[in-house]
């Protein structure tokens, strides 16, 4: 399993979303190092917890943009996001430890999920959004637990 290297082929044409995707790729690559080095469980769990929080924010922003720019595949895309969060939650106990899943198996899931999701699922909305300005209100306020405020 190789690290993911962000390149233009991963670009969805919206700079703020690309920056967030790079951040997730960095987290996945860092986790690969940690799991490889058999790092403390707490180190891995901490990254996992951050990933969940950032993913909630990222998914919320993506879904708002998809709605705004009338991307027709929004419902299926939303389900993909929900399944990912469920997987992370199911892999955690009280946001502190992951359990029941072998670390390398979890690593592979995260690696493949981000790689495939950006490259194949997120890429589908690119024609609807690329080059369009992101309205200020989309960068919204989040609750302390990272979940988005409903408006």
The least CB distance from residue 90 to Fe ion, in Å, is: 19
Residue tagged 């609807």 (tokens)? 128
- Residues 65 and 74: their CA atoms lie apart, in Å, by 10
- Residue closer to Fe ion by CB (options 34, 122) is 122
Interface with Fe ion (CB under 5 A): 62, 122
- Residues 70 and 117: their CA atoms lie apart, in Å, by 19
- Residue closer to Fe ion by CB (options 34, 62) is 62
- Residue closer to Fe ion by CB (options 24, 98) is 24
The least CB distance from residue 111 to Fe ion, in Å, is: 15
90 within 8 A of 82, measured Cβ to Cβ: no
The least CB distance from residue 125 to Fe ion, in Å, is: 8
88 within 8 A of 48, measured Cβ to Cβ: yes
The CB-nearest residue to Fe ion is 122
């Amino acid at each position: 399993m190789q690290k993911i290297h962000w390149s233009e082929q991963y670009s969805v044409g919206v700079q703020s979303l690309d920056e967030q995707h790079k951040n997730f790729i960095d987290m996945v690559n860092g986790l690969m190092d940690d799991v490889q080095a058999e790092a403390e469980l707490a180190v891995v769990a901490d990254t996992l917890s951050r990933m969940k929080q950032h993913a909630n924010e990222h998914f919320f922003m993506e879904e708002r943009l998809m709605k705004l720019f009338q991307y027709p595949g929004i419902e299926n895309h939303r389900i993909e996001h929900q399944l990912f969060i469920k997987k992370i939650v199911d892999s955690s106990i009280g946001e502190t430890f992951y359990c029941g899943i072998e670390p390398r198996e979890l690593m592979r899931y995260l690696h493949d999920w981000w790689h495939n999701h950006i490259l194949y699922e997120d890429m589908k909305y690119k024609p609807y959004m690329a080059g369009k300005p992101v309205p200020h209100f989309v960068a919204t306020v989040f609750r302390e637990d990272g979940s988005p405020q409903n408006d």
